Structure 1
C-alpha cells in the first residue's frame, strides 16, 4: 500500500518551507519513525519521519523546492522490501551492456552474461556500487567470479586516491596570486529571515544603545569557589556566567517593567513574566531559543537549559515552540572575543542586552589603581517606549547585582 509523505503542518507564523535534505533515495528501505526528509523554514528545520516500514518509491518535491503546509513530498510503499529494487537494476543495465559488449571485449568475456553471477559476487557488487556489466569475467565461459568483483572493488577504492593528485595539480593555478575566485551559494531561509527582521527593526524602531561596565571579579571568585561542587551536586551541569546574567536580568526587568514590555500597534503590552531569549550561533545562522518563566528557574536549571539549547542548535533540532515568544533577549558576543557592540532589538521585544569579553583593565578603586576583570554591557532599546532613565537604571541594577551576587539571594 502506498503511503503519501506530506510536509508537516506549519504554524500560522510560518507560510511555507523548503526541502532541505532527502535522507533516503527512491528504492531504499525505510523503517518506521526513521528520518526521511528535512524541511527548512525561516525559523527551524522540521523533520519528516516514516509512518511505517517500507521502501521510498517516489520523490515528488526535490531538494530546494518550496512546499506548503501538508503538501505531498513523496510516496512510501508500505511493507515493500528494498531487495526487489536493486535486483531490477542489473537487469535494466544488461541490454545496454550486451549491445555494447562486442565493442569492448570478445563474446563470452564481458559480463553481459551476468545472469550466471554467483549470489556472493552479486551481493558484493550491489553493496559497493559495482556495475557488473562492465566487468571482464575470468571464470569458465566468461563468468564473473567473486574474485573479479573483489578486484573491481579494490580498484574503485584506489581510484579516488589517485584522483586528488591529478585534480590538485589541475587546481593549483586557481590558488596562484592575482586570481579572483568567487563562490555563490543561496542564502538559507533562516539567514534571510534574520536579515529581514534586523532591517525591519532598524527601520521601524527609534533604537538607541546605552552602555555600562561591570566588575566581574565577585562573580568569577564565586564561580571558581563552587563550580566543582555545583557540577557534582547538579549531575554534571556546569556553572557558567550566563546564569548570573539571566538571574540579574530577571530582577532588573521586575524593577523596570517597561524594558520587559512590547508594542502591539498603538498598545503597550506589559508582561507579568520573564521569558528570556538567549541568542545562540549555529551553522544555519543566529537562533534565539527561549527560557520560559526564567523568574522561577534556579541557576542550575538556567545553565542546563542553555546547554541543551546549544546542543540542539548545533544539531538543528530546535523546535518552533522553543524559539517562539520571549520578552527580553541576551546576546553574548564575548564568547567570540567582542569587546564592545550595539546589539539589534528582536521585534516585537523592545530591548536586548549585549554581553562582551571580560578584559582586565586598570580601574580606580578608593584612590588606588587596581587591575580588575571588566565587562562592557550594552542595552539597545526602543526609545518609543523606554526612556533613557529606565534604560540606565536597568543597567545600573544589573551592575549592582553582579558586583555583589549576594543581592540576588537576598532580593535587595
Structure 2
C-alpha cells in the first residue's frame, strides 16, 4: 500500500532539492556503524533494592532539566524521584481520593523545570504538580489520552488519542490539552494518515478499561476484543515532541519522518532509502501463530481461548508491508533515534538509526547492541528498564557519548 499522496509529493520534492532522484541510493543507503558502549551512571531496583526502589512494574519515566529521574509506579500509586547520583530525592503522590492522590496513575509527563502531570484513569483527571513535587491542581479530563508529552513552552500537553471534547482526536491524531483551566480543553493539531478500511474498528476509551467497581483487570478483555478488529502490520502513528515544540512523526510504512509545527504545514521530511519489507505467506502464518500463542497464555487462567476468538485472529486482515520505522524518540537536544524492525517484524532488538539535532545522519547502532532508551535526559543521560529472571524491574541510567547526544 502506498504512502499518502501528500507524503509522496513532499518526499519527491525533498529528494530533488538535494540533487537525488527517488531511485537513487545516496550516502545514507548503507548503515554507518556506531559503538553502543554507554557507561553506567547508576541503577535502582531489583530484588535487593531498598524499599523506595522496590518497583512493582516498569512504569513511565522522564528526566527534568537538573537530571532528576521521575519514575511512575502505577501499582504503588506514587512517583519516585531519583537524583543524578542515584539516590532517593523524594516521592510524589499516594493512593487515595484526596487532592494529588491517585487511584490508578497511568501516564507521566515532566517539564524541564520540574513540573509534572500524571493522568489517573480511575479518577478521569490529570494531576498537576509544581517543581519540587507540591500538588498544584487536578484537571477534569473525562476520557484520558493514550500517550502524553509536555508542551515545552506552555502549561499544556500533547496527546495521542486525547478526547476531552469528543471523538475528533483518535489514535491517529495528536491533540493539545490546555491545563490552565479546571477542565481539559483539547484541540486537534495533527491528523496522521491511516490506511483505508472498509469497516473501521470502533475506538475504546480509557473509561472502558474499568468495570462498575473500578477493577482495572477488565482492560485485558477489552484490549483483546480490540486486537481482533485490528490489521496485522498496519502502520501506527509514531511520534515525539522536539525541544522547540515541533512534532516529529511517522504514519506510513515508508522511511519518512515528518517534522511539523503543531497546527502548521510540514516543515521538513527526514528520509533514508530503506524500503519496507513485503508481507509474505510465511510471515502471515507466523504472525497468526504468534498472536494465538500470546492470547492462549493470557486466557489460560480464564478457561482457555474460545474457538470464536481463535477464528477471529485467523481471519484478521494484513497490511501488505512491514513498516520500516518501529519506534521514534527525540533526544534531549533535539536529535532523533529511529528503531527499525529486527530479524522479525515484532523483534524489539532491531537497529537504531541516530540523527543529530540538525537532522544529519550520524550512524546506526547495530541490532542487538542497544535498545531504545525509555527516557533521554540532560548531559547525555538515558534511562532503561531491565528485568531479571523473576521479572523484577530495575531502572538503569547510562550516559551517552558526545557523538550520540
Q: Is the TM-score greater than 0.5?
A: no
Bigger helix share: 1
Q: Please state which band the TM-score falls in when normalised by the shorter chain.
A: under 0.3
TM-score, normalised via structure 1 length: 0.19
Larger Cα Rg: Structure 1 or Structure 2?
1
Normalising by structure 2, we get a TM-score of: 0.19
- Return the structure number with greater strand share: 2
